[in-house]
């Protein structure tokens, strides 16, 4: 039971670390080649637009959260130094 709880707690942490270290993953549609086949002809992958990499879902969520946070917070006033 304790192992299951630790595993449940560690899974999102591991995914967060993965998103931090490696924010991009290979495109699933073209398997990282940038090209895919449609009706017998090879075309540029429409999902990754030939770039072969995609941003991970967790990283996209983090970026959206950061954008919202920055839009909703005021800039800190410059610190006044007393001399
Ligand atoms: Zn692709």
Domain assignment present for 82? no
Domain assignment present for 79? no
Distance, CA 54 to ligand 1 centroid (Å)?
8
Distance, CA 26 to ligand 1 centroid (Å)?
8
Distance, CA 40 to ligand 1 centroid (Å)?
17
Domain assignment present for 77? no
Q: How high is the pLDDT of residue 79? A: 73
Distance, CA 11 to ligand 1 centroid (Å)?
27
**Mean pLDDT for the chain overall:** 90
Q: Where are the alpha helices (DSSP H) in 1-83?
A: 2-21, 57-72
Domain assignment present for 48? yes
Residue from 47, 7, 41, 4 nearest 27 by CA: 47
Domain assignment present for 65? yes
Distance, CA 30 to ligand 1 centroid (Å)?
4
pLDDT tens string 25-54 = 999 999 999 999 999 999 999 999 999 999
Q: Alpha-carbon distance 17 to 28, whole Å?
A: 21
pLDDT band at 81 (very low <50, low <70, confident <90, very high): confident
Mean pLDDT to the nearest integer, 60-78: 89
What is the number of domains present in the chain? 1
Q: How high is the pLDDT of residue 83? A: 58
């Amino acid at each position: 039971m304790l192992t299951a709880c630790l595993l449940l707690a560690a899974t999102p942490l591991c995914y967060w670390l993965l998103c931090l270290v490696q924010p991009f993953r290979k495109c699933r549609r073209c398997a990282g080649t940038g090209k895919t086949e449609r009706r017998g002809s090879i075309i540029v992958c429409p999902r990754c637009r030939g770039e072969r990499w995609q941003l991970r879902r967790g990283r996209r969520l983090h970026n959206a959260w950061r954008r919202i946070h920055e839009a909703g917070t005021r800039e800190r006033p410059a610190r006044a130094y007393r001399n």
